[in-house]
C-alpha cells in the first residue's frame, strides 16, 4: 500500500490540483462554501498521504527530513481549520518534486549518455566452438569473442582473426575510424563500423579503459568538496533545528499559524541540492567535450589556478620528433648507424623511435649489458664494442672527449632547436644527431586563451636542452622556460612554486611525469586511452587534444561560479523568507512553499546552463 501511494505521487499531485481548481470555482462561481471546504480537505488528505509516508519512514531511522516538517505543518493547518493552505502547500510540494525530478534528469543527462554507451552483451565462443550471446559480465579474461559489423566491442582485447574499421570516439574522441587487423588492440565501448573480427579478451568489466572512464566520471559527479561536506553536516542539524525553533515560537506566541509557517519556510531544499547540481552539470559538459574532471575539489582548485607548467614533448609539441641534422666523426658511418639502430630498437623513448625511423633497414647486431642511464641515455655492448648513446651529460659522465669541431656542431644544432643525441663507440665520439619536434598546430592560440582566462604564468619544463626549450617558449609566448630537467627536477620546481603560494597545474603525458602530476595541485594528463594517465591525474584531456585545455579552464571557472551563485540563491531565499515572516503581513505558508519550490527549480535551471557552456 505504501509503495503504491508513493509510486502514484505524480497522479496524486494532478488530482489535488483538479480538486483545488474545483474548490475555487465552487467558491468564486457558485458561492458554495461546502464544495470549497470539502474539495480542499480531500485535496490535502490525498496530497499529504505520500508525504506523511516518507516522513514516517524517515523518522523510523531517526532522520528529521523535509517531509517531517511539511507533514507537521499541514497537520497544524488542519488543526486551525485552514484547509486552503493545507491543500496548496501539499500540492506545491508534490508538484515541485515532480519538476525537480524532470529537471534533475536533464542535468544528469550528459553523464548518462556516456554510461549508456557501455556494452551490454557479447558473442562468446562456447566449448563446442559455437558463438552464443551472453551478458558482458559473463565474459572472462582469455575468452574468445566474435564482434560483428555495427556491434560494440564488449571488452578490451586483441584481434585474433579478421579485419575491420573501429570507431574509437568513445575512448579517444577521435572521429576517424581506426583500422584493425590481427594483433591490433581493440577497446570496450568502441564500435566496429565494418568487417567482422574475433578477439581474445584481455581486460573485462571495470578494468577496461572504458570501464575506468565511466567509474571515474561516476565518482566525480558525486565527489564532495569541503564546502559541500560542510553544507551536508549543516543540513543534518538544520532541519531538526527548524523543528525546535518552530516549536519554541509556538510555545511563546501560542500562534499555530506562525509556527507552521516557519516549518515550511525553513526547508533547506535548495541549499542541499544547489552544489551537486552544478557539479553534475559541469562534469557532464566536460565529459561531452573530451575533458574528464575528477570531482568538485578539482573544479575548485583549477578554477583558481595561477601557474600552468607544461611538459614539452607530446604536450606542446606533437611528440613525433624527427632526425633533422646529422654530423659524423668517422669514416664508417654505416657501421655506427647499424650499432645505433641495434641499441635504439630496444628502447621506446621518442628520440630512439625517431632514430630507428631515420636509419631504416640495416644490419642488426646482438646487444648485451644494456644499462639505461635515467635522463642521460643508454650504455651497452654491441658486437663486442663498448657503446654509448645519449645527451652531452652522458658523454661527460663517460669521459668522452668532445673536440672543438664537435662543440661547435653541438652549439649550432642546439640553436636550431634540436634535441641532441651523441653516439660514442669504444670511448670515441662517432656521431651527432639533431632531432626536432614540431609544435602542435593551434597551441599558440590556446595559450593566449589561457592567459585571457587569468592564468598568470605559463612555464615549460623539459628534459631537453635549454636552447630547444627557449626556442619553443619564445615561439609560443610562454613566461618561463626550463630545460635539462629530469622528472624529479620538475617535481622539485613545482614544489618550489607551491611554496611561494601559487596554485600550480602540471600538464604532461602521464607516463614519465607521474611525480609532477601527483604533486601539482592539479595534474592534467594528455590521455589517448592510456589508463596510467587516467589514474594519476585530476583532469584528463581525451585524445591528447591540447585545444580542450582552455575549455577545461573556462568550464571549471563557470562551474565554480555557478556553485557560488546557487549557494547564494539558496541562503538568500531562506533568509528573506524567515525575515518576512516577522516583518511583513503578507507572508503565509503557501507563499513560503511556492518560494521554496521555486528556489529549488531556479538552482537546478541555473546548474543546467553549464551543460551548454562554451568558451567564447
Partner 1 sequence: MQKATIQLETLTCPSCMQKIEKAVKALEGVDKESVEVLFNSSKVKLNFDDEKLSIEKIENAITAMGYEIKKSQVKAL
Q: What is the largest CA-CA distance in the chain?
A: 115
* Minimum CB–partner distance for residue 280 and partner 1 (Å): 4
Site string for partner 1, 67-96 (x = CB under 8 A): x-----------------------------
Q: Which is nearer to partner 1, 193 or 215 (CB)?
A: 215
The alpha carbon torsion through 24, 25, 27, 31 (nearest 10 deg) reads 170
Q: Express the helix, strand and coil content of the chain in percent, nearest 5 each.
A: 55, 20, 25
Binding-site member from 105, 369, 415, 438 for partner 1 (CB under 8 A): 105
Tell me the C-alpha distance between 217 and 283, whole Å.
8
Tell me the C-alpha distance between 536 and 541, whole Å.
13
- Sign of torsion over alpha carbons 28, 31, 35, 38: positive
Q: Is 361 in the active site?
A: no
Distances in whole angstroms, Cα of residue 276 to Cα of each of 271, 476, 480, 493, 554: 10, 38, 38, 35, 19
Binding-site member from 279, 462, 514, 606 for partner 1 (CB under 8 A): 279
Site string for partner 1, 190-229 (x = CB under 8 A): ----------------------------xx-xx-------
- 2 forms part of the interface with partner 1 (CB under 8 A): yes
Tallying the residues shown for the chain, one arrives at: 616
Binding-site member from 8, 106, 236, 300 for partner 1 (CB under 8 A): 236
- 1 forms part of the interface with partner 1 (CB under 8 A): no
* Minimum CB–partner distance for residue 98 and partner 1 (Å): 9
Specify the stretch interacting with partner 1 by CB under 8 A; choose among 39-47, 74-82, 274-282, 311-319: 274-282
Specify the stretch interacting with partner 1 by CB under 8 A; choose among 144-152, 234-242, 338-346, 376-384: 234-242
Tell me the C-alpha distance between 292 and 283, whole Å.
7
- 111 forms part of the interface with partner 1 (CB under 8 A): yes
Tell me the C-alpha distance between 487 and 498, whole Å.
17
Binding-site member from 273, 355, 431, 505 for partner 1 (CB under 8 A): 273
* Minimum CB–partner distance for residue 607 and partner 1 (Å): 11
Number of residues that bind partner 1 (CB under 8 A): 33
* Minimum CB–partner distance for residue 248 and partner 1 (Å): 23
- 119 forms part of the interface with partner 1 (CB under 8 A): no
Specify the stretch interacting with partner 1 by CB under 8 A; choose among 58-66, 78-86, 477-485, 574-582: 58-66
Strand partners, 139: none
* CA atoms within 13 Å, Cβ hemisphere of 292: 35
- 113 forms part of the interface with partner 1 (CB under 8 A): no
Q: Are strands 457-461 and 522-527 parallel, antiparallel or unpaired?
A: unpaired
Binding-site member from 16, 39, 54, 289 for partner 1 (CB under 8 A): 54
Which of 211, 171, 178, 172 is CA-nearest to residue 193? 178
Place of cell 626549450: 469
Tell me the C-alpha distance between 25 and 569, whole Å.
35
Q: Which is nearer to partner 1, 95 or 365 (CB)?
A: 95
Which are the contacts of 259, defined by CB distance < 8 A and separation ≥ 6? 76, 246, 247, 249, 250, 253
Q: Are 352 and 341 in contact (CB under 8 A)?
A: no
Specify the stretch interacting with partner 1 by CB under 8 A; choose among 53-61, 386-394, 559-567, 575-583: 53-61
- 235 forms part of the interface with partner 1 (CB under 8 A): yes
Binding-site member from 6, 178, 258, 453 for partner 1 (CB under 8 A): 6
- 101 forms part of the interface with partner 1 (CB under 8 A): yes
Q: What is the 3-state secondary structure (H, E, C) of 286-334?
A: HHHCCEEECCHHHHHHHHCCCEEEEEHHHHHECCCCEEEEEEECCCCHH
Binding-site member from 62, 254, 374, 616 for partner 1 (CB under 8 A): 62
Q: Is 489 exposed, middle or buried (0-12, 13-18, 19+ CB in 10 A)?
A: middle
Which of 143, 156, 311, 513 is an active site residue? 311
* Minimum CB–partner distance for residue 554 and partner 1 (Å): 22
Specify the stretch interacting with partner 1 by CB under 8 A; choose among 28-36, 70-78, 82-90, 233-241: 233-241
Binding-site member from 167, 172, 239, 528 for partner 1 (CB under 8 A): 239
- 499 forms part of the interface with partner 1 (CB under 8 A): no
Place of cell 630498437: 345
Residues in 250-269 that interact with partner 1 by CB under 8 A: 269
The residues annotated with a catalytic role in the active site are 311
Binding site for partner 1 (CB under 8 A): 2-3, 6, 53-54, 57-58, 61-63, 65-67, 97, 100-101, 104-105, 108, 111, 218-219, 221-222, 235-236, 239, 269, 272-273, 276, 279-280
Amino acid at each position: 500500500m505504501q509503495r503504491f501511494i508513493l509510486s502514484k505521487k505524480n497522479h496524486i499531485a494532478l488530482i489535488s490540483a483538479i480538486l483545488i481548481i474545483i474548490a475555487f470555482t465552487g467558491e468564486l462561481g457558485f458561492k458554495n462554501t461546502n464544495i470549497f471546504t470539502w474539495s480542499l480537505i480531500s485535496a490535502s488528505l490525498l496530497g499529504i498521504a505520500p508525504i506523511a509516508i516518507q516522513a514516517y519512514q524517515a523518522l523510523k531511522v531517526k532522520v528529521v527530513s523535509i517531509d517531517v516538517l511539511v507533514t507537521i505543518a499541514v497537520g497544524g493547518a488542519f488543526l486551525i481549520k485552514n484547509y486552503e493552505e493545507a491543500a496548496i502547500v501539499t500540492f506545491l510540494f508534490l508538484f515541485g518534486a515532480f519538476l525537480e525530478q524532470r529537471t534533475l534528469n536533464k542535468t544528469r543527462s550528459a553523464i548518462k549518455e556516456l554510461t549508456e554507451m557501455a556494452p551490454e552483451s557479447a558473442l562468446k565462443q562456447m566449448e563446442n566452438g559455437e558463438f552464443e550471446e551472453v551478458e558482458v559480465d559473463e565474459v572472462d579474461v582469455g575468452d574468445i569473442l566474435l564482434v560483428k559489423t555495427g556491434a560494440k566491442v564488449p571488452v578490451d582485447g586483441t584481434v585474433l582473426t579478421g579485419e575491420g574499421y573501429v570507431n574509437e570516439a568513445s575512448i579517444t574522441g577521435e572521429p576517424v575510424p581506426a583500422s584493425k587487423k590481427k594483433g591490433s588492440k581493440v577497446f570496450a565501448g568502441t564500435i566496429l563500423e565494418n568487417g567482422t573480427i574475433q578477439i581474445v579478451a584481455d581486460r573485462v568489466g571495470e578494468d577496461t579503459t572504458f570501464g575506468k572512464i565511466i567509474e571515474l566520471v561516476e565518482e566525480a559527479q558525486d565527489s564532495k568538496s569541503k564546502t559541500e561536506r560542510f553544507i551536508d553536516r549543516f543540513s543534518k542539524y538544520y532541519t531538526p533545528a527548524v523543528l525546535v525553533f518552530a516549536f519554541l515560537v509556538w510555545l511563546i506566541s501560542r500562534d499555530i499559524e506562525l509556527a507552521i509557517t516557519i516549518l515550511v519556510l525553513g526547508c533547506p531544499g535548495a541549499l542541499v541540492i544547489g552544489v551537486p547540481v552544478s557539479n553534475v552539470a559541469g562534469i557532464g559538459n566536460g565529459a561531452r567535450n573530451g575533458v574528464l574532471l575528477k570531482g568538485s575539489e578539482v573544479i575548485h582548485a583549477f578554477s583558481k589556478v595561477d601557474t600552468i607548467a607544461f611538459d614539452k614533448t607530446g604536450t606542446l609539441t606533437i611528440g613525433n620528433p624527427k632526425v633533422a641534422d646529422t654530423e659524423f666523426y668517422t669514416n664508417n658511418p654505416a657501421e655506427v648507424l647499424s650499432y645505433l639502430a641495434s641499441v635504439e630498437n630496444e628502447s621506446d623513448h621518442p628520440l630512439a623511435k625517431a632514430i630507428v625511423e631515420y636509419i631504416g633497414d640495416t644490419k642488426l647486431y646482438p646487444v648485451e649489458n644494456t644499462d639505461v642511464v635515467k635522463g642521460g641515455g643508454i650504455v651497452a655492448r654491441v658486437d663486442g664494442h663498448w657503446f654509448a648513446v645519449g645527451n652531452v651529460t652522458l658523454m661527460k659522465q663517460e669521459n668522452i672527449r668532445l673536440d672543438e669541431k664537435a662543440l661547435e656542431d653541438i652549439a649550432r644544432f642546439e640553436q636550431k632547436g634540436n634535441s641532441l643525441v651523441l653516439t660514442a663507440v669504444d670511448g670515441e665520439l662517432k656521431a651527432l644527431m639533431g632531432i626536432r619536434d614540431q609544435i602542435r598546430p593551434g597551441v599558440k592560440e590556446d595559450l593566449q586563451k589561457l592567459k585571457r582566462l587569468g592564468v598568470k604564468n605559463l612555464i615549460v619544463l623539459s628534459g631537453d636542452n635549454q636552447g630547444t626549450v627557449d626556442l619553443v617558449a619564445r615561439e609560443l609566448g610562454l613566461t618561463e622556460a626550463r630545460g635539462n630537467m629530469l622528472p624529479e627536477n620538475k617535481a622539485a620546481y613545482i614544489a618550489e612554486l607551491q611554496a611561494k603560494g601559487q596554485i600550480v597545474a602540471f600538464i604532461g603525458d602521464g607516463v614519465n611525469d607521474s611525480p609532477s602530476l601527483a604533486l601539482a595541485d592539479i595534474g592534467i594528463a594528455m590521455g589517448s586511452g592510456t589508463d596510467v594517465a587516467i589514474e594519476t591525474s585530476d583532469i584528463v584531456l581525451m585524445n591528447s587534444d591540447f585545444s580542450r585545455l582552455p575549455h577545461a579552464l573556462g568550464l571549471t571557472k563557470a562551474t565554480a561560479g555557478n556553485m557560488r551563485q546557487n549557494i547564494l540563491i539558496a541562503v538568500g531565499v531562506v533568509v528573506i523568507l524567515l525575515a518576512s515572516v516577522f516583518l511583513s503581513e503578507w507572508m503565509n505558508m503557501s507563499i513560503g512553499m511556492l518560494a521554496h519550490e521555486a528556489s529549488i527549480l531556479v538552482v537546478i535551471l541555473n546548474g543546467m546552463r553549464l551543460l551548454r557552456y562554451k568558451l567564447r
